[in-house]
Chain A
Amino acid sequence: MQEILTYIVLVIAVAFLIRKFFFKPKKKGNCGPDCNC
């Protein structure tokens, strides 16, 4: 059981890093082209 949970945490961490650095999602909102919101 501990092993399964560890692998789940690992997958989440890797997915988070990939998303953060390679597939940064565009945020929604009323932002113009000049702002970083």
Chain B
Amino acid sequence: MSILSFFQWLQSTDFMTFIRESGLTYPIIMSTHLTCIAIFGGMIVITDLRLLGVALQDRPIADVVNGLRWWKRLGFVIMFSMGFMLLGSKAPEYYPNPYFWTKMSFLALVFIHAMIFRPRVYNHPEKLDASPVIPTRAKAAATLSLVLWTGVVCAGRLIGYYEPPQQKGHVVSVGASK
């Protein structure tokens, strides 16, 4: 099964058809997606700022990382579920959209970032606190995290601006263009 035929099947399911065809459901899901990005984003930002040593310097890194670990996971699950519904309800329209694939690529890089830096940074924050200076690997993880998530957010917004060639000049229905 190709990705496109999977997308077509996904869109045709009863659940995704319901989302697409009921007027308010789609923007409400999108607003919830955006709210989760903000709330989840704040947890990422404070973690990264702490790892960079520019916020909460007088508090242990372990407090920040451990205190937010499960809330970040919860936020990610809600955000991802909402995003999946947005995608699923209009999947074939997302398929040719280069910004959608840019966003997916950034998310793939976020996944690789987690694979690399979880064992080295996030899973053992006490080790970072024991070091006299914040290790370079922690600062690298924080910087990359900020860059990658900014990429996810910006590419996500640009999805709404893509016009497929044959529809130039018409209103695009994916996302919310101006």
A and B co-occur in one complex:
no
Residues on B facing A (Cβ under 8 Å): none
